Structure 1
Amino acid sequence: MRILFIVPSYKPAYIYGGPIVVIARLAERLVQLGHEVTVYTTTANGKTELDVRPGQTMMVDGVAVKYFKRITKDHTHVSPALWRAVWRTAKQFDVVHIHSWWNLLVLGAAGVCRLRGIKPVLSPHGMFCDYVLTANNSKKKQLIHNMIGKHLLTNTYLHVSSHMEWQESIRLNAKWKTEGGMVFNLVDLPVKDYARKENEVFTISFLSRIDPKKGLEILVQALARVRFDYRLRIAGSGDEAYVNKLKQLVKALDMEDKVEWAGWKGPEEKFSFFAESDLFVLTSLNENFAIVVIESLYVGTPVLISNNVGLSRYVDDNKLGWITGIDNIDEVAGKLTATYENREERRRIAREAREVINQDFNETRLAMDYVGLYQNSK
């Protein structure tokens, strides 16, 4: 198949987080299966631009990528050059796959596809969740949806990566009940093994972007109420003011001797970081998928995640960890205590998790599932 990806940003713009990795991984695996993948994206790299040649095709790990100039330097990513390219070439592809929503770049691309009689596959990557819809610029999003978004969404075939995202999405467009499907995101997992050992002090890890959405305040407040000894290792980076706010909370709760600020971890370092932990915790307010959950389980580290994490149903169904609500701090503290006390269950997960993840997140099988989804979208 000839496949066109349209995405606001692409690697090496890792500043935008997990979706960049997920989208690139899918494109690369489809190429390895013999499909021809082209990516139309922008030079976006936060408030700066990538050091690439706009408008020229570049091979990036086997994928043909065209980076187009954007005329805005914010999250709208407006790029008339990209829209023109979509208008000229979209019909040359067997399928057009649009990633993300709400920004003007993809809305414009979806509009061009409609005018050209093309029904693209749409992966919203969590953009239809309640948290996003009610967060910053919620009135603007509602206005965009009522004026043009609703109309454009009826001309798309939905792809989601979790059951939670499916439920959130079909509330926005009921047609997707029969015009969509769910396939997990591809996760880049290493081949090597990572030695695990139980720590003398129960070690809890967090690894992600340090952001209010991640619910770290909830975790810290809950740990302040437990009665067992623990060590909390926080890995990641974030806005300096927010990180300082968290550090002040830790100080106010007299937890400084129990909390380690481990800094940002690279692709190789993070798996060792997970393996050194007895439990990985993610008490997010919202998380469309959460690659870190799969990465932690892959090295055998059990997880405790909020019921707002997209993979919570998967973790629960496969008995790979614990799920908690986050509206009540005592509930979170209780779940933390349960994980600490249930050592045999943690040992069972450590023994069995990698085999489960290897089976369910085999990249070749998942990529073939995407091809099936593309065929069903016709």
Structure 2
Amino acid sequence: MKITTCISSIDETTGGPARSITGLVSLLALANKVENINLLTLESSNPLYRSFDNKKINLKFFKSSFLDYSKTLNIELQKKDADLYHGHGIWNLPIHQMAKNARKKNKPYLISIRGMLEPWSLKQSKLKKKLAMLMYQHRDLKLASCLHATGQMEVESIRNLGYKNPIANIPNGININEYPQKEYQRKREKTILFLSRIHPKKGIEILIEAWQLLDESIIENWKVKIAGNGDQAYINILKQEIASKKLDNKIDIIGSKFGTEKLEIYHNADLFVLPTYSENFGIVVAEALSCGIPVITTTGTPWKDLEDYKAGSWIDIGVDSLRATLEEYLQKDSSELEEMGKNGRRLVEDKYSIESVGKQFLELYGWILNKTEKPDFVV
């Protein structure tokens, strides 16, 4: 099986998709039935990988021009042959170039939507997305052999837009060996961690406002750390809001963290909070759970499993629900938080390891190529 995978960027600043895709490609290359994988992406300053040890993986970077169109990527797509093409994300020209070339070669292609058809997302840059739909995006989606969603909520969003293609419901996976479970310690000062892209979509203002409403006696021994990269103007607005509410001594924006620094702040955290408006998956939730941290996130994510596994809370979006949930969690005993954290680790081992996800993708690719029966996760 020869696979060509395309994504606009694998830069470390781009968040979850770059991490999940490079992890998936690494795992797929270990399968005997995979002959080679071409991972094609645009040049960036700090890619997660510049090459892979496994010689089955051919990673290539391409220069781009206006609107990220890449002439050299187009030449590569025309030159290289593959049995199946897999594009990650929409609204960007590299994935359109991949889909168009696959159709020219009469080869099947799959598009991972990556949350970009969620109602919240569609409301952002509305005019640009309408134009993209008219020019190329609708056709690329409609003619795909299969679409990929990371949760039932995303499946429903795609169906609500009228797409009739088969949809594979496969979560993102993580390499749990890269996110080992923390060592639990009894400590007086505790930390709430937010780690994600710093963007209005992520609900950071909700966290700040909810924190301000908590009684001083409850938050006395807790601090909030906000980690991530984003638009500096927006970060400055958040800092001003924190200062205006006189929360400087309790809420700290600490910037981007990668590698060992990132693992260290996970392990130092006692509770992870992602109060997002919309998330097709939220790989940081899986990372936090793998590290053994209980998680609070919203129904804007597909993380209902948190409650099924008693690993955290899946709450309504908004200040009131977050304030009430924080009030409950900040008064929990350390042993109770530890138990929830261990439950979270078990959840990731059971359902979200990269090994489990890789097996599903191999099954999906086989079905698309008419070599296996339709998998249960395809609807």
TM-score (norm 2): 0.87
* 1:360 equivalent among 345, 348, 351: 351
Instruction: Give the letter for the 2:323 counterpart.
Output: A
Aligned to 1:26: 24
1:298 equivalent to 2:290? Answer: yes
| 1:158 partner amino acid | L
Q: Distance in 1 between matches of 2:120 and 2:35?
A: 36
What is the one-letter code of the residue matched to 1:241? A
Distance in 2 of aligned mates of 1:342 and 1:217: 24
**CA offset at residue 198 of structure 1?**
4.1
Q: Distance in 2 between matches of 1:357 and 1:4?
A: 28
- The answer to whether residue 35 in structure 2 is matched with residue 36 in structure 1 is yes
8 A Cα contact 2:4 2:40, kept in partner: no
Cα distance, 1:367 vs. partner? Answer: 0.9
Deviation sequence 1:49-73 (CA, Å, 0-9, x none)? 98x9xxxxx843322122233223x
The one of 171, 180, 185 equivalent to 2:172 is: 185
Question: In the alignment, which of 108, 116, 130 is matched to residue 142 of structure 1?
Answer: 130
User: Alpha-carbon deviations, 1:44-93, whole Å to 9, x = none?
Assistant: 32xx698x9xxxxx843322122233223xxx32013322332343xx32
Contact 1:42 1:77 in 2 (8 A): no
Instruction: Summarize deviations over 1:275-305 as a string: whole Å, max 9, x none.
Output: 2222110011222211111111112210111
In 1, Cα distance between equivalents of 2:83 and 2:140: 20
RMSD: 2.3
Aligned to 2:323: 333
User: What is the DSSP-based 3-state SS (H/G/I as helix, E as strand, rest coil) of the residue aligned with 2:304?
Assistant: helix
Check if 1:265 corresponds to 2:257.
yes
1:226 maps to 2:214: yes
Indicate the residue corresponding to 1:55 in structure 2.
Answer: none
Of 57, 62, 73, the residue aligned with 1:68 is: 62
**Residue number in structure 1 paired with 2:8:** 8
1:170 aligned counterpart, secondary structure: helix
Residues 274, 69 of structure 1: alpha-carbon distance in 2 compared, 3 angstrom cutoff: closer
Deviations 1:180-215 (A, max 9, x none): 211221213336542122432442111122222211
Cα drift, residue 332 of structure 1? 1.6
Write the distance in 2 (CA, Å) between the matches of 1:49 and 1:367: 25
CA gap of 1:193–1:284, structure 2 versus 1, over 3 A, is closer
Structure-2 change in CA distance of 1:245 and 1:199 (3 Å): farther
| Structure with greater contact order relative to length (CA < 8 Å, sep ≥ 6) | 2
**Aligned: 1:106 with 2:105:** no
**8 Å CA contact retained: 2:198, 2:228:** yes
Match of 2:235 among 233, 243, 268: 243
Q: 1:346 to 1:153 in 2, by over 3 A?
A: same
Residue in structure 1 matched with residue 247 of structure 2 by the alignment: 255
How far apart, CA to CA, are the structure 2 residues paired with 1:270 and 1:260?
16
Give unpaired runs (5+ residues) of structure 1.
Answer: 53-57
Please state if 1:376 is matched with 2:370. no
Looking at structure 2, the residues matched to 173 and 117 of structure 1 have their Cα atoms a distance apart, in angstroms, of 24
Pick closer, same or farther for the CA change 1:147–1:242 going to 2, 3 Å. closer
Q: Distance in 1 between matches of 2:76 and 2:276?
A: 38
SS of the equivalent of 2:240 reads: helix
Shift of the 37–164 alpha-carbon distance from structure 1 to 2, 3 Å rule, reads: farther
TM-score (norm 1): 0.87
Letter in 2 for 1:341: Q
1:174, 1:238 → 2: CA distance?
33
CA contact (8 A) 1:271 1:295 kept: no
Letter in 2 for 1:25: G
Q: Distance in 2 between matches of 1:225 and 1:372?
A: 49
Query: How far is 1:320 from its partner?
Result: 1.6
Runs (4+) of structure 1 exceeding 6 A deviation are none
Equivalent of 1:78, from 55, 61, 69?
69
Verify the 8 A CA contact 1:44 1:77 in the aligned structure 2: no
Question: % of aligned pairs identical?
Answer: 27
Alignment partner of 1:96 is 2:95: no
Q: What secondary structure, in the 3-state scheme, does the structure 2 residue paired with 1:32 have?
A: coil
**C-alpha contact 1:280 1:304 (8 A) present in aligned 2:** yes
Deviates more, 1:33-42 or 1:77-86: 33-42
